[in-house]
Every structure is written in structure tokens, then in C-alpha cells.
């Protein structure tokens, strides 16, 4: 069996950030297992036309690796992917990578007090696991009756079929979320016809992006502190946006702005009515676009708001009995966020799976550790998502806590720790109380933030700063050493 001190699973922002943080903190014995053949995670997998981040690039990057060369205030996917690859090289992470290594099972050995990882290339034993498999990495395709009977081609936007020429084809897009509003304007001029199936109208605000000039980039590269100053200003302006999510009655101005954007871009009152959201802004992810509404008004584009009843060999039938012919169906239907497949493949103390521990809902102490799962850290675990700013900030806060835990174990000679169930429960109650009056619970929508029971197990109900302050200190009393299994 191969042995390593720390196993990181996943090589997206989280896994790469973890690797760099460990190395900088003096924990050099680690491997990063990635199922794909390249690093990058989200930014490797999602290559659809128009892909870009929707928080400013200066914030959507590591605080310890600012990039003075961003070409746009909201960078495209390829540039973010290149940035992550460059970080891997700059911080000497490449020798630690095990690409093409899917981890099939992770099980805690009570006797050895170590994790056993079954990968496609053999078994590894690790003292600590940092799980960075990503909250948005498993595409979700709705279970529509008749889908198997479709004669054309179907794919999810996170697995874009670049080999497929859409020119002149009849294309149906299911879903109008963050990815769809980015790729619809790009494919609309190319396809023969485009039918967009909308379940709920999203809130769309103008996208205030612009190219970053050569002069600005030179300043960032040469003037010490200049880029950090810009980042700090952006950080606080984004933090201010959370106010509307936490206190929905203060959302009125932002909603008025979005409705004005809709009025300006969509003169037709019938179409505008279909595109007017019926819930409070922020309840679902707010989308940024200047070209989505114009794309929907092209003569070859049709917005359908009737529910889908079934798929037939040559199209999609809605509940009103109308058949919408299609050669290709593209799903922009999001990811398995509250039901990540990885939960079935992680076994903690006594063989309990994460799926069992997370019934009826996902819980984790500080969104990072789960009672019964020793030395197992989750990056972007339950309730660490954000609607207003970069999740990289959340990951970095978590990594601070991970390093503090590792140092605590080293200092005290503990082989394994896990959160005290009482501390975990206390944290869960704190989250539920904070969540109560936010837009996600009172905004009148159903969103991917909610699990099957309607519980919000995804979003951090606060400011990124609040999370950071909470995770800055390591509280030994909230953790407990793991007992060794007695020989019988």
C-alpha cells in the first residue's frame, strides 16, 4: 500500500489552494488526487461558449497569488483555467499531482487511525484527507419522461460537445440559470432555431465588465500594493451586497435596477411579463448579463414558460400539448449540490457513510468537519456557499482552520481529531437561526440552495467576513480526540 501524510481529493480551486497552503505551512507530505487528466476543476470542465466568472477577477483568485494580468474585470473561463495551472507551477505543486486518479472509496480504519483511499491506480493510506471534490462538479440532468427516446443529441452545459456543429440546427435549451444566460447569447446567432425552456424567470442585472487596460496591468505589476488596494475595495463593496440577502426588505433598490434593465431591454410587454421574476431578488442566484434579453428577442429564438411534460423522439412536449421540435437538447440544469455522489463513498468511524450522517440534511462543523469522520476536512462543505462574492474567500478561511487543526494535532501529539457532536449541533442551530429571515428562506422561491426537505444546506447566511472571523481561531474545546478501537 502507498502511504502519504495528507491526501487531497480534487484539483480545482479548492484542491490547488489546499496544496499551496499546506506547502506554505510546512506540511510537505501530500498528494493531490484528481480524476481528470488536468487541473482546474470547474474551469476545466465547463467550456461552454461565453463562460466567465460572475464575481470580479481580482476577488475570484487566491489572496496569496494575485494576478496582475487579468484581461477583463470578469475573466473568461480559459483565463481562469490558465491562472490555476500557472499557480500549480509557480508554487511547485506539480510533483504532488496524481492526475487521472479517481478516488472510488475513502474509508477510515478505526484500528490504524488512518484513511484508506481506493483509487483507480491502487490503494493509498493517509493520516488526513482534505476533500475538495467541489459542490458544483456533478452535472444534474432532470428525469424527464421519454428522454431516452430522443433521436437527437443531448448534453449538459458542463460537458459541452465542441465536436457538434450547432449551425442551422434546431436546438432546445432546458434551464435559464447562470450557465444558460452565458451561452444562449453565444449560440443564438449560430443555430437555426432556439427554444428556451424557462421554469422560473431569473433576476438579471447589467454586467458591468470591461477590459483591464495595459496601463492598469502595468500599475498592478509594478506599484506595490496597488492591486491589493483594488481588491480590498472590491471586497467591501461585494460584502455590502449581502445586506439585501440577509435583510430582504432592503432589496427594493436592487430589484428596481433589475426591472429597469428588463424594461430597457425588452419592449414587448408579453415577453417582459414572462421574464419578470415572481420572487424576491437573491432567493435564487442573481445573474449578470447585457446580452441575454436581446438574444431572446431574435427572430429564431422562442421562450417557452409552460412546464415540460415529456421528451419525444423529435422534440419536447409541454403540458399544453405543444410539441417543440429539436435536433439537440442542451441541459443548463445545474449540479448535484445537496446530494453530492461523493457522500456514498466516504465511510467514517464504524463504517458509517457521509450519506447516512447527512440524513435528513447535510451538516458540518464550520462547514468543514463532520462528527464521526476523523481527520476529514471538507472544502466548500455544507453552508459555505455565497451569493454575493467569491467562494475562494470561503475556501481560504477553511484552509486557515485546517492548518490550525493540523498544527494542534502536531503540538499535542494527537493522531486524530473530529468535531464534538455538541459543537456541531450548536453550529447547526446558529445557522438555522441566522437563516430564518434571509431571502433564501423568505424570498418565495425554490432553488438549488435547498435540499429535498427544503432545508438550506448550501449557503452561508452571513458575510464572508463573519465566516472568516469564526474560522480564524481554532477552538480545541470544540474538537475531541478519536478513541482507538480496543482489541477484542
Residue 168 · residue 276 · CB < 8 Å = no
Selected binder of ligand FAD within 6, 31, 103, 205 (CB under 6 A): 103
Distance between CA atoms of residues 22 and 64, nearest Å: 13
Reported as type and span, the H/E element at residue 256 is: helix 252-265
Q: Which residues pair with 168 in a beta bridge?
A: none
Distance between CA atoms of residues 33 and 10, nearest Å: 6
Distance between CA atoms of residues 176 and 197, nearest Å: 7
Position 136 contacts ligand FAD (CB under 6 A): yes
* Chain centroid to CA 347: 23
For the bound state, the minimum distance from the C-beta of residue 52 to ligand FAD, rounded and expressed in Å, comes to 8
Which residue number, 41 or 175, has a Cβ lying nearer to ligand FAD? 41
Position 377 contacts ligand FAD (CB under 6 A): no
Position 42 contacts ligand FAD (CB under 6 A): yes
3 state SS of 211: strand
Position 117 contacts ligand FAD (CB under 6 A): no
Position 12 contacts ligand FAD (CB under 6 A): yes
Q: Is the peptide bond before 360 cis (omega within 30 degrees of 0)?
A: yes
Distance between CA atoms of residues 265 and 274, nearest Å: 14
Which residue number, 471 or 482, has a Cβ lying nearer to ligand FAD? 471
Q: Interface residues for ligand FAD in 166-205 (CB under 6 A)? A: 179
x/- track of binding to ligand FAD for residues 313-352 (CB under 6 A): -----------------------------x----------
Selected binder of ligand FAD within 4, 6, 35, 414 (CB under 6 A): 35
x/- track of binding to ligand FAD for residues 236-255 (CB under 6 A): --------------------
* Chain centroid to CA 378: 13
Residue 385 · residue 135 · CB < 8 Å = yes
CA 279 to each of CA 252, 287, 443, 462: distance values in angstroms, whole numbers, following the listed order: 12, 14, 6, 20
Which residue number, 12 or 315, has a Cβ lying nearer to ligand FAD? 12
CA 461 to each of CA 175, 259, 385, 431, 466: distance values in angstroms, whole numbers, following the listed order: 26, 25, 9, 7, 10
Which residue number, 89 or 487, has a Cβ lying nearer to ligand FAD? 89
Selected binder of ligand FAD within 6, 8, 15, 180 (CB under 6 A): 15
Selected binder of ligand FAD within 56, 134, 367, 462 (CB under 6 A): 134
Instruction: Identify which range of 31-39, 147-155, 190-198, 207-215 contacts ligand FAD by CB under 6 A.
Output: 31-39
Which residue number, 293 or 460, has a Cβ lying nearer to ligand FAD? 460
Position 418 contacts ligand FAD (CB under 6 A): no
Position 46 contacts ligand FAD (CB under 6 A): yes
3 state SS of 484: coil
Which residue number, 120 or 436, has a Cβ lying nearer to ligand FAD? 120
Position 381 contacts ligand FAD (CB under 6 A): no
Selected binder of ligand FAD within 265, 333, 375, 390 (CB under 6 A): 390
Half-sphere exposure of 359 toward its Cβ, with a 13 Å CA cutoff?
Answer: 5
Distance between CA atoms of residues 384 and 378, nearest Å: 10
For the bound state, the minimum distance from the C-beta of residue 232 to ligand FAD, rounded and expressed in Å, comes to 18
For the bound state, the minimum distance from the C-beta of residue 236 to ligand FAD, rounded and expressed in Å, comes to 17
For the bound state, the minimum distance from the C-beta of residue 453 to ligand FAD, rounded and expressed in Å, comes to 24
SS (H, E, C) 362-417: CCCECCCECCCCCCEEECCCCCCECCCCCHHHHHHHHHHHHHHHHHHHHHHCCCCE
Residue 418 · residue 480 · CB < 8 Å = yes
Which residue number, 315 or 381, has a Cβ lying nearer to ligand FAD? 381
* Contacts with ligand FAD, residue ranges (CB under 6 A): 9-15, 33-36, 41-42, 46, 51, 53-55, 60, 102-103, 132-134, 136-137, 179, 342, 379-380, 390-391
Amino acid at each position: 500500500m502507498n502511504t502519504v501524510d495528507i491526501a487531497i481529493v480534487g484539483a480545482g480551486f479548492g484542491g490547488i489552494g489546499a496544496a499551496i497552503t499546506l506547502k506554505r505551512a510546512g506540511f510537505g507530505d501530500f498528494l493531490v488526487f484528481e480524476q481528470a487528466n488536468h487541473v482546474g476543476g470547474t474551469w476545466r470542465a465547463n467550456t461552454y461558449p461565453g463562460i466567465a466568472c460572475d464575481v470580479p477577477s481580482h476577488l475570484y483568485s487566491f489572496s496569496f497569488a494575485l494576478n496582475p494580468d487579468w484581461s477583463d474585470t470578469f475573466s473568461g473561463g480559459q483565463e481562469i483555467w490558465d491562472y490555476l495551472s500557472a499557480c500549480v507551477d509557480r508554487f511547485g505543486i506539480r510533483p504532488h499531482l496524481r492526475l487521472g486518479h479517481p478516488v472510488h472509496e475513502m474509508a477510515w480504519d478505526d484500528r490504524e487511525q488512518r484513511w484508506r483511499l481506493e483509487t483507480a491506480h491502487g490503494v493509498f493510506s493517509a493520516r488526513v484527507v482534505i476533500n475538495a471534490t467541489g459542490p458544483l462538479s456533478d452535472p444534474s440532468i432532470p428525469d424527464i419522461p421519454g428522454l431516452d427516446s430522443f433521436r437527437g443529441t443531448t448534453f449538459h452545459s458542463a460537458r459541452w460537445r465542441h465536436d457538434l456543429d450547432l449551425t442551422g440546427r434546431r436546438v432546445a435549451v432546458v434551464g435559464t440559470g447562470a450557465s444558460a444566460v452565458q451561452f444562449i447569447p453565444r449560440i443564438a446567432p449560430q443555430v437555426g432555431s432556439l427554444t428556451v425552456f424557462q421554469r422560473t424567470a431569473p433576476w438579471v442585472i447589467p454586467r458591468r465588465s470591461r477590459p483591464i487596460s495595459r496601463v492598469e496591468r502595468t500599475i498592478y505589476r509594478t506599484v506595490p500594493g496597488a492591486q491589493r488596494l483594488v481588491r480590498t475595495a472590491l471586497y467591501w463593496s461585494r460584502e455590502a451586497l449581502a445586506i439585501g440577502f440577509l435583510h430582504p426588505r432592503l432589496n427594493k433598490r436592487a430589484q428596481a435596477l433589475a426591472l429597469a434593465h428588463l424594461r430597457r431591454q425588452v419592449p414587448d410587454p408579453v415577453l417582459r411579463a414572462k421574464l419578470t421574476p415572481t420572487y424576491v431578488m437573491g432567493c435564487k442566484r442573481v445573474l449578470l448579463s447585457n446580452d441575454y434579453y436581446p438574444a431572446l428577442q431574435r427572430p429564431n429564438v422562442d421562450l417557452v414558460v409552460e412546464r415540460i411534460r415529456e421528451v419525444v423522439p423529435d422534440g419536447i412536449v409541454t403540458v399544453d400539448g405543444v410539441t417543440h421540435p429539436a435536433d439537440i437538447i442542451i441541459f443548463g440544469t445545474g449540479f448535484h449540490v445537496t446530494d453530492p455522489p461523493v457522500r456514498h463513498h466516504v465511510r467514517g468511524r464504524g463504517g458509517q457513510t457521509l450519506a447516512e450522517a447527512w440524513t435528513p440534511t447535510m451538516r458540518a462543523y464550520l462547514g468543514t468537519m463532520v462528527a464521526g469522520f476523523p481527520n476529514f476536512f471538507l472544502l466548500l462543505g455544507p453552508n459555505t456557499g455565497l451569493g454575493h462574492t467569491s467562494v475562494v474567500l470561503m475556501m481560504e478561511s477553511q484552509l486557515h482552520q485546517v492548518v490550525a487543526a493540523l498544527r494542534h494535532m502536531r503540538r499535542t501529539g494527537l493522531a486524530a481529531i473530529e468535531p464534538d457532536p455538541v459543537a456541531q449541533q450548536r453550529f447547526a442551530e446558529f445557522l438555522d437561526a441566522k437563516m430564518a429571515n434571509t431571502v433564501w428562506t423568505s424570498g418565495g422561491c425554490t432553488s438549488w440552495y435547498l435540499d429535498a426537505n427544503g432545508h438550506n444546506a448550501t449557503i452561508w447566511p452571513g458575510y464572508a467576513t463573519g465566516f472568516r472571523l469564526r474560522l480564524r481561531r481554532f477552538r480545541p474545546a470544540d474538537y475531541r480526540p478519536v478513541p482507538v478501537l480496543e482489541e477484542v
